[in-house]
Amino acid sequence: MTTNLVVGFIGAGLMGWGMAKNVVEKGFDLRVMAHRKREAIDDLVGRGAVEVANPKEMAEQCDVIVLCVTGAPQVMQVLEGESGILEGAREGLTIVDTSTSEPDQTERLHKELAARGIALVDAPLSRTPAHAWDGELTTYVGGDEATIERLRPLLSTWATAIIPTGGPVGSAHAAKLINNVVAIGFASIWAECYTMVRKVGLKPQVFREILTNSGMNCGNFQSYSKYICEGDPNAHKFTLRNCLKDITYYNRLATRNNAATLMSDGALQAMKLSLNLGYGDRFMPELVDVFAALSDLEPSPDTKA
């Protein structure tokens, strides 16, 4: 793949803005369309991108379209909705779905689109919006080796680690769900343990120091701890609503494969409680406030040294 191809980008949100910025700055001819945050589109146009009105118009102009939307329903909307991609798509178009979507839907779409001469690749993401801005994301990609290699120059604009799953299209979305359950599960553990620390009269900062100097220290723990220890919820910008979406997708995947979900079921219930208590649009580190509320503690973090 060369940079003279026209690339479309749908979903210039928390992750997508930085990704699209890197696409255009690293030499690709970029098409973008309006998102919830107008400032992202204005910024990208200022960097050299061209704005289009809708997915249909984008498909008519582009060789590759990157999707970075919330989940499976949003993928279907931009593909099959009014003025969607499929209204303007021509044979030879490639769609790169970086969303966290449902593997069975991805597998079905892959087959349906292939019959029309359209390629679909699942390439979900790991790391944070800050890494997206710096072009340092991790992506794992399902599908055949030749297609992945053809896309590598584009994927490399936003990812420093590109990991082929070795499986068919849909396998990367499955791997992403499993990865996210690890992160959501640990977030649930951190929330419960930080709450217990406060219940027994210790400072959260003391617990952070203890775990930092143990074999359980990791980036997830450090970013999570910045909220309760320093009052910074933005260290990990991923909403509890999205956590619930991802772990629900994982649960469906497990049911489809007749796999036990003893550990993830607890995290799933924690996410449901979060939404029921009105925390859905808060970020993952703020899950500690949900556990605090359930334990008769003030929800705001104790940031005193």
Comparing C-alpha atoms, which of 186, 282, 277, 196 is closest to residue 242?
Answer: 282
Contact, 166 vs 259, CB < 8 A?
no
Give the C-alpha distances (Å, rounded to integers) separating 46 from 13, 23, 30, 59, 166.
17, 14, 12, 22, 38
Contact, 136 vs 162, CB < 8 A?
no
DSSP assignment letter at 94: E
Residue 176 bears catalytic tag: yes
Residue 15 identity? M
Cα Rg, the chain, nearest whole Å: 20
Tokens of 161: 């680690």
How far the first Cα of the chain sits from its last, in Å, is 53
Q: What are φ and ψ of residue 18, in 5° steps?
A: -65, -40
Comparing C-alpha atoms, which of 302, 282, 292 is closest to residue 240?
Answer: 282
Choosing from 21, 26, 111, 176, the catalytic residue is 176
Active site members: 176
